[in-house]
Structure 1
Amino acid sequence: MTEDLEEGNLIFKTEAFLSYVVLSSWRDSIIVLKSCEKLSPWAENLQIVRRCSESIAWKACVNPKGIRWNYTGRPSKVSSPSWNDLKDSSPSRAIQVPPDWWFEDVSILRIDHFVRVITAIKVKGMRFELIGASIMQYASKWIPGLIKDGGGEAMLDDLSNGNISRESNGSSSGSGSGSWKGGLHLIVAGKEEPEAIKAKDQRMIIESLISIIPPQKDSVSCSFLLRLLRMANKLKVAPALVTELEKRVGMQFEQATLSDLLIPSYSKSDTTYDVDLVQRLLEHFLVQEQTECVSSPSRSYMEKNMFEESQRGGASSAKMRVARLVDSYLTEIARDRNLSLTKFHVLAEALPESARTCDDGLYRAIDSYLKAHPALSEHERKRLCRVMDCQKLSIDACMHAAQNERLPLRVVVQVLFSEQVKISNAIANNTLKDNTAVESQFQPMVSTRKTLLEGTPQSFQEGWSSAKKDINTLKFELETVKSKYVELQNDMETLQRQFDKIVAKPKQHSSSAWTSGWKKLSRLAKMNNMDSHDDGSDQPVAEQTRKTPRRWRNSIS
């Protein structure tokens, strides 16, 4: 078999056949790699698995326009295919090759060989959206019930170029007597249906798929990740991989739906749904949002401001969607009588206050919890209602809450007060709008007047211009007369002052003699009074000095 004795023995011929025939063909590479499943140790040692995987990866990364070989693709659902249909499944027809042409052929491989092929495709630089879509296609085939009917088709159709319409090939799990697998499926699997996959094999498939999901966001849908997480919890997958999957869900948690979040509790918890899991997913989402806001790339000042504004707007919209999702989830799980008040309270307060612009959904969840738990004390009811902001309730919710007997009295009073404030604000806004509407009615009159003037004939416009000139002339003459009148009035006032001065001088001379005489007499009278007063005051003082005895000084000796 070796070349020691003679050239051209079996090993040489096998190597030549493998290199020039098998590896150069797409279909033969898939078939040989599928056949190596029963010869795993020998095929690995002879590097057949590695070479086939690299050949498949290289052909999968080729531009679809250059494909000239046969592939299975995603054929339409038919009842009984003919031989011509099998031959025409190749791109020899004048049909554009879709970018996901290799999904169906690769999905028939065993999980370890599929991982080898996907790893080689990643190295070649394939787009992460295509890699994620191929993983979803493989999971839908090998894990029954993982994806809804047609759930993974939307993402696959978005990857097609030129809006090519392709129908689904029946059941995504590959079961059912009416679904045609065609191409390589007939060659490899024959007509027998695949046996039911055991739980151990499903666990291995899920662990392998989690490890090869591209790290980029939106490489796979959030619905697929949540369903994969549901199966991982059910099959007791390794905790490290489950944690990694939870972080991936947190990256795109705003894309989740309520039906995907209703994951049953497979642990020993008393609750129907796994509330702790949703709490962890929400924490991962908040951490991811905070990390994206902090780690902004270095840009210029203007670009940085624009980037921060866009990031802030995107983050706020994502938080608002998550808030609505959490409120719907709380409303659904509130009917569970085994749900504790602490879990409900912690999950409701996990999001910041800015995430909720309206608390109607939260009020609905609180009302559902109060219905399912009528034995709550007054203190517990107040604690539950503290999560809700009465000022963020709509008028309909306020009217319902005002008549709700399950709410504490203090909360009802707060609701009534907030409703009154909203009604008064609404009335004030309507009054303001009416005032602005009345003011705006005068604006169209100016425009209509202009249009009327513009629509008048030329003769009327010339007469109007001459009349305007006459009016301006009269105004100028009137202003001149006014200025002259003011000057004359000032001159008249000046003359009047001079006349008053001349008339007042004789009166002042005649009265000065009398006034001076009276002034002298008054001065003499005042001086006499002061002298007499001084004489009378000195005499008692002298008498006092005589009457006071002399004080002798006592000596110390």
Structure 2
Amino acid sequence: MWDSENDSAGGRDYGSGALITAKQGLQADGFEQRGQSWFVATDIPSDLLVQIGDTSFHLHKYPLISRSGRLNRIVYDSHDGDLNKIVLDDLPGGPEAFELAAKFCYGVAVDLTASNISGLRCAAEYLEMTEDLEEGNLIFKTEAFLSYVVLSSWRDSIIVLKNCEKLSPWAENLQIVRRCSESIAWKACANPKGIRWAYTGKHPKSSSPKWNEMKDSSPSRNNQVPPDWWFEDVSILRIDHFVRVITAIKVKGMRFEMIGASIMHYGSKWLPGLVKDGVGTPLMDEIGGIRESISSGSGNSITSGSGNSITSSWKGGMQMIVAGSKDDQQAVQIVQAKDQRMIIESLISIIPPQKDGVSCSFLLRLLRMANVLKVSPALVTELEKRVGMQFEQAGLADLLIPSYNKSETMYDVDLVQRLLEHFLMQEQTEFSSSPSRKSLSDRPMHEAAQQRTGSHAKARVARLVDSYLTEVARDRNLSLTKFQVLAEALPESARTCDDGLYRAIDSYLKAHPTLSEHERKRLCRVMDCQKLSIEACMHAAQNERLPLRVVVQVLFSEQVKISNAIANSTLKEAASAGAATVESYYQPMVSSRKTLLEGTPQSFQEGWAAAKKDINTLKFELDSVKAKYQTLQNDMENLQRQFEKMTKQKQTSAWSSGWKKLSKLTKMSGFETQDVGPQLPADQNKKAPRRWRNSIS
């Protein structure tokens, strides 16, 4: 597509790249260097000294002021008419760029290349070498070379953007960075089938972060170009220029999987903390997985080669990255802590917002480095939310993040607790918001699918949390409250089996032998004994660290399971045999139970015999307690009857005393009637006592 790619970018002649200018009155054969000083090869003595840093240029006024507006103004506006020295320490590009500009002013041939064009363009702007002074001045020449040669070339755009790192803010103000970034973005988004220019490839199964064995690869018609062909070249850029390129690529519509893979590739190269512990390899496994998912079905293979080589090593606690090619001088950059912090913050800001933009392992390693380097809390929180979105993809090794604060625990358990909360919140948000976008007819099916997906994710997270608890439980400084809160954070439906949780509890009991009985019961309360497997129940039945009540619950739940299993198997056998009565369901139960026990391993039979013996002992104790309770109940009933009998006797004695008092009253009333008898009629004296006696009788 661009024919200029067929030549070498190091020292190629672009036809119009050789600039020769005829000067009137002064001809120079060239420049010669003597130590830190440059001299013009001419018989006319110099009358102007230009000092740039430690380098000095012995030149003439007329060739310079005729093409440089800045030097013209300095010379003529100076109050010293015999000005013969100018200091330009702030000239962009340094002595190298001024040397080329001076040669251009003297008419010496200047070779424009991708390595010197950015510095020369900024120097020309600084010296004000515009068309107002002379037609075809240096600004016009360098701008034309940038527009028509550099921006049409893949490698030249990369090299120019790399060289702009030392030219801030001039390169930004002159739009060199923007134009190169957009040129790189356009070519990165091109169809790989149409690529005919050279690029730096890498081995797909490389296990070392040293890329100095690569060779330049020029794709041919037989070799297919992989979709990630541009990763290696873009990764040599500084982080701010890399962000500019990725931002431009996003605008062009690149798939987020590719953008995420390029970010992971860049992070694995520039951040030593993203290298796997003890192995020394970057995150090529995750990058390779995304690469395979992107190029699935196309049969693309990774082309090997070398050009701009990158080597990574450790020196003095800082990562040293060497970038360059065989033709160019190698440049060494030391990534210090502040630079790593800036890289992490920049990478977090450009990660695609989609769920699977980057791997969860990459995010967790990035989070670990962010905590070490004290990255902005807002960005750390954003990164934690990103991890929570795909927490089910995490690995145990990535979750074992050391505690870098003043906490007493070995691992950062609070961080994992926050990640789990973000995961549950994200699951709840997705479940509540997704059906609203569906029609009424499709909503039930969508809700069912959403529930299945959410249950699978929660099950994976539950297994991950149980494994994490098993590891951190060995820390003697881990409090029971933190362990319990993390274990109970997931809903009960997330765990179909509590074997992993039982292992974590057992590990905690081993590491904390001084727990009280109440604390052990509180710890075991997070586990459901009915969700334990047979192996876990056998281990728990013989575990002396567990409370006795938990052991009884385990044995009882296991007995229920075995009874249900035997009953189910018997019912199936009876149904297949066509049995219709209830007796046929229970008659073969004994034989099937014997068969089931005979088919079990010897260790299980011995363990079950011990468990059955304990159950019989508990049953005997329970029967004795029932007998004592029955005796106490009988004694209580006897006492109740005696109490009722005594109550009746007291009531009878009270009635008898009452009747005695009434009889006394009756006698007294009789005496009174006899005293007043003569005053009343005779019939009344006779009838009144009789009526009273009748009523009493």
Count of residues in correspondence between the two structures: 430
Q: Say which structure is richer in strand.
A: 2
The Cα of 1:302 is off from its aligned counterpart by 2.7
Which of 170, 174, 181 is residue 53 of structure 1 equivalent to? 181
- Are residues 302 and 44 of structure 1, via their aligned partners in 2, closer, same or farther at CA, if it must alter by over 3 Å? same
Q: Distance in 1 between matches of 2:234 and 2:463?
A: 39
- Are residues 252 and 121 of structure 1, via their aligned partners in 2, closer, same or farther at CA, if it must alter by over 3 Å? same
Match of 2:193 in 1: 65
Q: Could you list the per-position Cα deviations for residues 380-402 of structure 1 after superposition, in whole angstroms to 9, with x for gaps in the alignment? A: 11111110011111111111111
Q: Could you list the per-position Cα deviations for residues 177-202 of structure 1 after superposition, in whole angstroms to 9, with x for gaps in the alignment? A: 9xxxxxx841687456x454211111
Match of 1:212 in 2: 350
Match of 2:140 in 1: 12
The Cα of 1:264 is off from its aligned counterpart by 0.4
Partner letter of residue 402 of structure 1?
A
1:147–1:224 Cα contact (<8 Å) kept:
no
Q: Distance in 2 between matches of 1:32 and 1:239?
A: 35
1:433 corresponds to 2:562: no
Partner letter of residue 205 of structure 1?
I
Match of 2:476 in 1: 337
Q: Distance in 2 between matches of 1:357 and 1:96?
A: 48
1:265–1:273 Cα contact (<8 Å) kept:
yes
The Cα of 1:167 is off from its aligned counterpart by 8.1
Q: Distance in 2 between matches of 1:354 and 1:238?
A: 37
Which of 122, 125, 146 is residue 250 of structure 2 equivalent to? 122
Which of 287, 291, 301 is residue 425 of structure 2 equivalent to? 287
Match of 2:290 in 1: 155
Which of 251, 254, 262 is residue 134 of structure 1 equivalent to? 262
Structure 1 portions without partners, runs of 5+: 178-183, 441-557
Partner letter of residue 142 of structure 2?
T
1:299 corresponds to 2:427: no
Partner letter of residue 293 of structure 2?
D
2:186–2:252 Cα contact (<8 Å) kept:
yes
Match of 1:505 in 2: none
Q: Distance in 2 between matches of 1:216 and 1:187?
A: 40
Match runs of 1:38-49 below 5 Å: 38-49=166-177
Match of 1:225 in 2: 363
Percent identity for Structure 1 against Structure 2: 77
Secondary structure in 1 matching 2:167? helix
Match of 2:302 in 1: 166
- Two-structure CA RMSD over aligned residues (Å): 2.6
Which of 402, 412, 427 is residue 551 of structure 2 equivalent to? 412
Q: Could you list the per-position Cα deviations for residues 150-186 of structure 1 after superposition, in whole angstroms to 9, with x for gaps in the alignment? A: 333332333235233438999x983269xxxxxx841
The Cα of 1:93 is off from its aligned counterpart by 4.6
Q: Could you list the per-position Cα deviations for residues 412-461 of structure 1 after superposition, in whole angstroms to 9, with x for gaps in the alignment? A: 11111101100100110110121133239xxxxxxxxxxxxxxxxxxxxx
- Are residues 233 and 168 of structure 1, via their aligned partners in 2, closer, same or farther at CA, if it must alter by over 3 Å? farther
Which of 200, 220, 241 is residue 379 of structure 2 equivalent to? 241
Larger radius of gyration: 1
- Are residues 16 and 75 of structure 1, via their aligned partners in 2, closer, same or farther at CA, if it must alter by over 3 Å? farther
Partner letter of residue 276 of structure 1?
D
1:107 corresponds to 2:243: no
2:367–2:383 Cα contact (<8 Å) kept:
yes
1:247–1:284 Cα contact (<8 Å) kept:
yes
Secondary structure in 2 matching 1:263? coil
Q: Distance in 1 between matches of 2:164 and 2:191?
A: 28
1:72–1:104 Cα contact (<8 Å) kept:
yes
Match runs of 1:428-467 below 5 Å: 428-439=567-578
Q: Distance in 2 between matches of 1:324 and 1:195?
A: 43
Q: Could you list the per-position Cα deviations for residues 202-242 of structure 1 after superposition, in whole angstroms to 9, with x for gaps in the alignment? A: 11101110111010010100000001101111111110000
Partner letter of residue 477 of structure 2?
N
Match runs of 1:428-507 below 5 Å: 428-439=567-578
1:145–1:173 Cα contact (<8 Å) kept:
no
More contact order relative to length (CA 8 Å, sep ≥ 6): 1
2:162–2:237 Cα contact (<8 Å) kept:
yes
The Cα of 1:72 is off from its aligned counterpart by 1.0
Partner letter of residue 251 of structure 1?
M
The Cα of 1:299 is off from its aligned counterpart by 2.1
Match of 2:533 in 1: 394
Q: Distance in 2 between matches of 1:190 and 1:17?
A: 23
Q: TM-score, structure 1 length as denominator? A: 0.73
1:57–1:118 Cα contact (<8 Å) kept:
yes
Q: Say which structure is richer in helix.
A: 1
